Amino acid sequence: GQNIDQPTEMTATEGAIVQINCTYQTSGFNGLFWYQQHAGEAPTFLSYNVLDGLEEKGRFSSFLSRSKGYSYLLLKELQMKDSASYLCAVRGTYKYIFGTGTRLKVLA
């Protein structure tokens, strides 16, 4: 079967670093995406990994290991506005498979 696993909820403190993990089992792999979704708003694109390694974009970084079926999203210098759900999605051959999302709460 195809599935994506990510933690349901995480809590972190403002200014800290948090790592959100995603493991996947899919038929075919053509890239892994992370989206951010604030409550009541559209999911917005954060990052894309198709090769192994780390992609850094400002305070956000995303890592991929295809052999392990594993990715993580790293958020540094957390801000209150980072409180949101983070969706991991894998593009298979022609389909996207989404995880349930990780709801991150950033505390002052």
- Footprint of another protein on this chain (CB under 8 A)? 4, 8, 30-31, 33, 35, 40-45, 48, 87, 89, 91, 94-101
Q: Name the residue nearer to another protein (CB basis): 1 or 108.
A: 1
The CA-based dihedral angle spanning residues 104, 57, 68, 78, taken in that order and rounded to the nearest 10 degrees: -30
- In angstroms, what is the minimal distance from the CB of 44 to another protein? 7
Q: Name the residue nearer to another protein (CB basis): 49 or 78.
A: 49
- In angstroms, what is the minimal distance from the CB of 15 to another protein? 29
Cα separation, 14 vs 97, in Å, equals 31
Distances (CA, A) of 106 to 5, 14, 37, 64, 75: 22, 6, 14, 24, 11
- In angstroms, what is the minimal distance from the CB of 100 to another protein? 5
